[in-house]
Structure 1
Amino acid sequence: MKLLFLLLSIVSFNCLSHVSHHDETPKIAITKTVNNYLKGSVLGDSQMISKAFHSDALVQGNSNGKLQRYDMKTFLGFFSTDKPGKHTTKIISIDIENDAALVKAHWDMGTWMYIDYLTLIKNDGQWKIINKVYTKIQK
């Protein structure tokens, strides 16, 4: 009986040890991707932010009543570790359907805030932000 228990324990442990980060749920994987962007924005770390975005992603929103569009190179240029952010961020909601997701995120800048709508696609096993639409709100 002890031998049977020992064998079952070894088999169970062996099965559990093969669980990897590739087995994580889509919600966890999407949260990690978006948090690379949000945390990177606070740190001013453009390399961390770039891990979250697809290289062809676009960033769009209204600024002073005019539509602004940025490619990734331009958008990443807004961040610098020499000037880390003084804002807080959080994920408000995540909606997932198959290999597409929509994330709503909040940036608190003090007297105003951004709301980001992030569209993500799962491609080659990785979730990436393919589009960001933002709006600025005065408090």
Structure 2
Amino acid sequence: MKISKLLLNFFCLLMCLSFTVKAQSEDEAIKTCVNNYLEGVLKGDAARLNLAFHPTALLRSVNTSNGTLQDIPVAKFISTTPAGGIQTKGGSTKLISYSYIGISALATVELRFGEFKYVDLLSMLKFGEEWKIVSRVFSRTDLDSQVKGTAAATATAPTASKPVVKKSSSANVKPKADDGW
């Protein structure tokens, strides 16, 4: 009896450790992807940038001169990254935040230059065991501009005094297959 109890405790300990290691490894894998991007931009390292981005990734922003959506293919972005990177222009990089669930992740990073900065929102997806940036949405801002907002602060949970009533309707039935919604 004591041996089976000991084995059960040992098994539970192993399961807890494997869950912790997996969670840590996901964090590390996402940070590796983001750091490949940041180091690639900082040092002008095309190999690191290619490790960070999915080959079909798009970089998107608004063209400030005409107000239209501007798409830049990742291959063009990498090929026009200055030799030596932004560090040769006094630039620096910083990871502001990241979050993930399942196979999707989002990171906010900052690329600082002498008189301005870019704030990038990097959308990532997990392919096998690797995270890749699939979209970079960016904004050029003043150095003193701060990222604002947070989902946690604006999300509201149902209160105990008002129970949530779940109504069934055939109009709202989702297909069983993963349709992206």
Q: Aligned-pair distance for 1:66?
A: 3.8
- Alignment partner, residue 84 of structure 1: 85
- Note the C-alpha offset of 1:44: 0.8
Structure having the larger proportion of residues in strand: 1
- Corresponding residue of 1:34: 34
Secondary structure of 2:97's counterpart equals: strand
Matched residue, 1:122: 126
1:107 to partner: Cα distance:
1.1
Q: Once superposed, which parts of structure 1, at least 4 consecutive aligned residues long, lie more than 3 Å away? A: none
Aligned residue runs from structure 1 range 48-63, under 5 A: 48-63=48-63
Q: Which residue of 1 aligns with 2:74?
A: 72
Match of 2:135 in 1: 131
Question: Which structure is larger by alpha-carbon Rg, 1 or 2?
Answer: 2
In structure 1, C-alpha distance between the alignment counterparts of 2:58 and 2:50, rounded to whole Å: 12
In the TM superposition, what is the alpha-carbon distance from 1:96 to its structure 2 partner? Answer: 0.6
Q: Is the 8 A contact 1:106 1:116 kept in 2?
A: yes
Aligned to 2:168: none
Distance 1:84 1:112 in 2: 16
CA RMSD, aligned part only? 2.0
Once the two structures are overlaid, the 10-residue window that deviates more, 25-34 or 83-92, is 83-92
- Matched residues in 2 for 1:134 and 1:32: separation? 20
* Equivalent position amino acid for 2:36 in 1: N
How many percent of aligned residue pairs carry the same amino acid?
29
Letter paired with 2:45:
D
Partner of 2:113: 109
Structure 2 unaligned regions, length at least 5: 1-17, 144-181
Q: Answer 1 or 2: higher relative contact order, Cα 8 Å, separation at least 6.
A: 1
| In structure 2, C-alpha distance between the alignment counterparts of 1:76 and 1:138, rounded to whole Å | 24
The partner residue of 2:97 within 75, 93, 100 is 93
Distance across 2 between alignment mates of 1:132 and 1:116 = 6
CA deviation after TM superposition for structure 1 residue 84, in Å: 2.5
The count of corresponding residues between Structure 1 and Structure 2 is 119
Q: Specify every segment of 5 or more residues in structure 1 that has no aligned partner in the other structure, as ranges.
A: 1-18
The alpha carbon displacement at 1:124 in A equals 1.4
